[in-house]
Structure 1
Amino acid sequence: DRMHGEVDRMGRLVDELLLLARLDQRPEIRFRNVDVSRLVRDAAEDLRMQQPGRPVVVAAEGAVLVRADESGLRQVLGNLLANVRTHTPVEAAVRLGVERTDGVVRVCVADEGPGLGEEDAARIFDRFFRVGSAEGSGLGMAIVQGVVEAHGGEVGVRTAPGEGLAVTVTLPSV
């Protein structure tokens, strides 16, 4: 069982490294209209299935379109929620929201977990960076940043110890 677990972990690590290598080479992305609200609602439902006891609040009504690669945006949301599952207690609430303002779409994933100190927050997008002895490869947030930037967007964080973590992805709207 340990060997199978290690093989799975190494497989995920190789997949993440390959994705980052592809993003470094600035691949041509097949953009199409994607309803970000639907993706956020789907991601929230996935989280509810994985952690039924976690409070999840979603503000993503109606269709909000962006020109994007749907699988890339699904990966961004998946990585952000994987961080919530890994780094916060199951009773810590998470809020997912989508808003369109001034020609951009903002997607926010905010948790009520332990948050990060200033030094850790400054390194959150560094490859292989992990907080303390956290599980994982330390590539999830680097992938989030790479995918978002490949879409012409930006990603930012707001956090403080004891105040949770909020990650905001900003993308051009349609």
Structure 2
Amino acid sequence: MSIPILPLPGRAFLSVLSARHDEFRPMLRPRLEEILGPIDYESQPIPFNRTSYYDSELGTPISRHILSFERPLPLDGLAEVKLATNRLEAEWALDGRRLFNLDPGYVTQERLVLATGKNFTHRVYLSQGIWADLTLIFQGGDWLDLPWTFPDYAAPAVKTHLTRIREMYRDSLKHLTSLEDTPCPKV
């Protein structure tokens, strides 16, 4: 018989895709921090050029900013975070088109998990119409792609940032004494 044990929280992760970051970043940042806590890492723009999937909605050229947040994220809080980021996307939408795409998730020592509203064979249902996408695993000192890993997340530029966030997460675990130290996300 297995004995249920609550997992350690993860490091909140957020990818922001847009062709117009300068138009919303100063206003969006405090809203994200209300939900996920203080931002402790932000990447420089990473060109998003592995697909044209978002071009008609977001415009071009699209770039990605990767953020992580200081406050630990309980793993079962991911669905609420995705719902909150969906509300932000809708709030800033113009004529039915999003200004930005927010992909929340978490990094742990073992994996990167993203939240999505779309079901697929490898995705696990969380709650409230939100699914967990196991996007990458960390094994043998490196991020490993899975058959369904999005090409942009398989790119070395993204993995470099994920490695840094994972290191920050590992350092933060030294200061986490119990799950009671982990506040729920404010959504």
- The TM-score range, normalised by the shorter chain, is 0.3 to 0.5
TM-score normalised by structure 1 residue count:
0.32
Give the number of the structure whose residues are more often helix, by fraction: 1
Give the number of the structure whose residues are more often strand, by fraction: 2
Tell me which of the two structures has the higher relative contact order, counting C-alpha pairs closer than 8 angstroms and 6 or more residues apart: 2
TM-score normalised by structure 2 residue count:
0.31
